[in-house]
Amino acid sequence: MGSSPLGITRCGDTEFRWGERTYIMGIINLTPDSFSGDGLGDDMAAALDQARRFASEGADILDIGGESTRPGSDPVSADEEIRRVVPVLERLVAEIPLPISIDTYKAEVARRALEAGARMINDVWGLKYDPELALVAAERKVPLIIMHNQQGTSYGDLVPEVIASLEESIGMAQGAGVAREDIIIDPGIGFGKAVEHNLEIMRRLEEFRSLGRPILLGTSRKSMIGLVLNLPPDHRLEGTAATVALGIAKGVDMVRVHDVSYMVRVCRMSDAIVRGGSSW
């Protein structure tokens, strides 16, 4: 794939040098009701242990969330989300040498998380729920992941519509003062999409390069894999590996995963084939 025009995104003391290799985001769910069965709830020790393990296994960044995004999950107030994530964040920042992303679509939660030491915002609503998130990212000069999401699964022309929505979100972010090099896009596998939509997006991931920003792919243990393979979340490792490898072949720059040690190997092997050079 050679050199990338996407440049460098700085996240705390870490530099993401897009195009050199695929970066790994490890998922830490501080929820009691995660779809994947890995919700840690209020267990501070378990969260710290998982973060240390992810760091030792080769994660580049940790993504911490206090609200489940599984279909049918109950919304959580900003106060409750802050109660769940801020104490853990403060401990992780003090003990783990990796940047931490806050997985939230609420500006108030993002602001408190950044004050506690988070260095990136991951918004599953792509600024469509709370546009003020862009102002928070701009004020703090932190990277912002913009994901496509929508109510319902009705599309006329799937991929162009998702790209257009992401383009609108990028415009909102830049209009609020977020630097272009601080924007990362996510096509939103599993959010407002039926299984056939998710599979089509996977087939056409390279089209998202037209947006000119690095692509994050979040397929880990998702229902798309469960429906294709007829397997529960804790048996979707091989299916996740297939999506990660194919995603890298189509130009993905970062993957958000539950099973860090395995996906580090998948990424290194895929990078060696796709990117060549010394990326592994």
Q: Does 222 participate in catalysis according to the annotation? A: yes
> Which residue type sits at 188?
G
User: Which stretches of the chain are DSSP H helices?
Assistant: 44-57, 78-95, 107-115, 132-140, 158-175, 195-203, 223-229, 237-249, 260-274
Cβ proximity of 254 and 24 under 8 Å: yes
As a whole number of angstroms, the distance between CA 195 and CA 241 comes to 18
As a whole number of angstroms, the distance between CA 116 and CA 220 comes to 27
Q: In the numeric block, which tokens belong to residue 235?
A: 């048996």
Q: Does 256 participate in catalysis according to the annotation? A: yes
Among residues 21, 222, 236, 250, the one annotated as catalytic is 222
Q: What angle do CA 78, 83, 88 make, to 5 degrees?
A: 125
As a whole number of angstroms, the distance between CA 185 and CA 147 comes to 6
Running DSSP on this structure, what letter comes out for residue 219? -
Among residues 111, 128, 256, 275, the one annotated as catalytic is 256
Return the number of other C-beta atoms located less than 10 Å from residue 149's C-beta.
22
Q: Give residues with Cβ within 8 angstroms of 211, minimum separation 6.
A: 163, 166, 167, 170, 185
Report, as residue numbers or ranges, the catalytic residues: 222, 256
